[in-house]
Amino acid sequence: MPVKKLKHRVLPHPQKKQRATLLQSKAVFLYSLGVLLVFSFFRQVPTVLPGILGYASNITVSDLLKYTNQRRDSAGVGGLTINPKLSEAAQKKATHMFAKNYWAHVSPDGTDPWSFILGVNYDYLYAGENLAKNFNDSKDVVEAWYKSPSHRDNLISDKYTDVGFAVVNGVLDGYETTLVVQMFGKPRTAPAQVAVKGTDNNSAVRSAQSEEPVLKQTAPATSQPAPKSEVTLLKPESAIVGHNQPVYSPNPKLDVFATTKMLILGFSVGMLGLFALDIWYSKKHAILKLTGHTFAHMVFLTFAIFAVYFALQPGRLI
Amino acid sequence: MDKSTHLTHYLILVLGLSICFFLFLFFRNDPAHQLWAAFAGCVFYSAWGIIHGLLEQRLNRHIAFEYITLALFVFALLYASLSLR
């Protein structure tokens, strides 16, 4: 291929008054199709070749407990201990979310978090739930909870003595997802007067002397006669994860998330570079192109790069 | 088009994109709304490019197509990113 032709792939054409071939509308249109094609590929391959292309994750219950208690220590409240009943309730909640295809504290059919806790015969005085999904690392999950005021209220509340976790992988809304459920509780062992004051988003209080839970909720202000908790989702797949056991396709050769991020950001930044080259070369050779404004394209692309970077930050809370 | 008008047009562009970006961040836990914010940003950019070209009296089919295809490309990037989260 002649050097001149190659040159105009990346540099504007002075005679034709056109952009570089790689920046022309036809090429950009093909890039759009390419992005969608690669995206579809990345969506399908993990299910066919999970060992090669998958979602890396290193979330363990022991780490979640460790980082939770570290945060509680620094807040001056006592550490929590794992309660198998709460872990079972968390597992049931996660399984329920995958089965009913929702991600919320209260299911579409009205099942609230307290139903799961009471369902495993954990008679609580206080209860709470945090949910997270699609995080890569245990520490990131706990830090995200800590940074969210409503989740932090549960995380460092001195009302709780017990905690249970579930880290479960599965398909939610058609996407592979890892859910993390953290359930807090304090058993109703000793008779006590419970003051019903303040309302957390995802926590519930029951009277020490009554069977009826006294509900305090913040988020959906429904008056449910059941305990509330904070729910946090973490990851996909339908298997609960035990202590120290990483969840979700561990150690894939290529992590879908990291690879996509690298490809999308690399490509966008490369395109931004070509636009910058277009401005420089056009000025240098006084080329007046009959095109849109290159600087405007660069402004738009810069916003897009920041948005993509932000969108590809792992993890979400509810 | 004089310099101050040109500058005003760019300020409108940055302001409009900033609002969409803010909405995108604001709905960080709600991908459906994030996608709408991304869509709004892309439509806004296409409209800005076409209106700016009209006011400059240099708009033609190719220039309009250029703004639209770039907006489409950015929307594809954001759609793919949000879908993988």
User: For testing the chain A interface, which of B45, B54, B59, B85 should be mutated: the one with the most A CBs within 10 Å?
Assistant: B85
Of A34-43, A65-74, A135-144, A240-249, highest mean pLDDT: A65-74
Could you report the per-residue pLDDT of A142-169, keeping only the tens digit for each?
998 998 888 999 999 999 999 999 998 8
Compute the average pLDDT of residues A274-282: 92
The span from the CA of A299 to the CA of A181, in Å, is 40
Instruction: Give the length of chain A.
Output: 318
User: How many beta carbons lie within 10 A of that of residue A243, not counting itself?
Assistant: 12
pLDDT of residue A202: 64
**How far is residue A304's CA from residue A300's CA, in Å, rounded to a whole number?**
6
User: Distance between CA A263 and CA A313 in Å, rounded?
Assistant: 15
How far away is chain A from the Cα of B2, in angstroms, using its nearest Cα?
Answer: 15
Buried b (16+ CB within 10 A) or exposed e, A107-144: beeebbbbbbbbebebebbbbbbbbbbbbbbbbbbbeb
Cβ atoms of residues A253 and A310 within 8 Å: no
Backbone angles phi, psi at B61, to 5 degrees: -60, -40
Indicate the pLDDT class of residue A173, thresholds 50, 70 and 90. low
- The residues facing A165 across adjacent strands are A182
Q: What average pLDDT score do residues B21-30 get?
A: 87
Measure A291 CA to nearest chain B CA, in Å. 5
What pLDDT band is residue A174 in, cutting at 50, 70 and 90? low
Average pLDDT, chain A: 78
Q: Which of A20-34, A79-93, A177-191 has the lowest mean pLDDT?
A: A177-191
**What would the two tokens of residue A101 be?**
């295809």
Report the complex ipTM.
Answer: 0.96
How many Å apart are CA B63 and CA A201, to the nearest integer?
A: 51
| Model confidence pLDDT, tens digit, residues B62-81 | 999 999 999 999 999 999 88
How confident is residue A196, by pLDDT bands cut at 50, 70 and 90?
Answer: very low
Q: Provide the pLDDT for residue A288.
A: 82
Cβ contact A268–B77 (<8 Å): yes
Whether chain A has a CB inside 8 Å of the CB on B46: the answer is no
Over range A211-225, report the average pLDDT.
Answer: 34
A29 to A33, A131, B19: CA distances (angstroms) = 7, 39, 26
Most confident of A68-72, A99-103, A264-268: A68-72
> Averaged over A104-123, what is the pLDDT?
91
Instruction: Establish if B48 touches chain A: CB-CB under 8 angstroms.
Output: yes
Are the beta carbons of B21 and A303 separated by less than 8 Å? yes
Task: Check CB contact of A28 with chain B, cutoff 8 Å.
Answer: yes
CB contact at 8 A, B40 and B20: yes
The Cα of B66 is separated from the nearest Cα of chain A by a number of Å equal to 5
> Does the distance separating the beta carbons of B70 and A300 come in below 8 Å?
yes
Which pTM does this prediction carry? 0.69
Test mutation, A133, A293, A301, A306, chain B, max B CBs within 10 A: A293
- Put simply, whether B45 touches A (Cβ < 8 Å) is yes
User: Which tens digits make up the pLDDT trace of B12-25?
Assistant: 999 999 999 999 99
**Closest Cα in chain B to A44:** B84
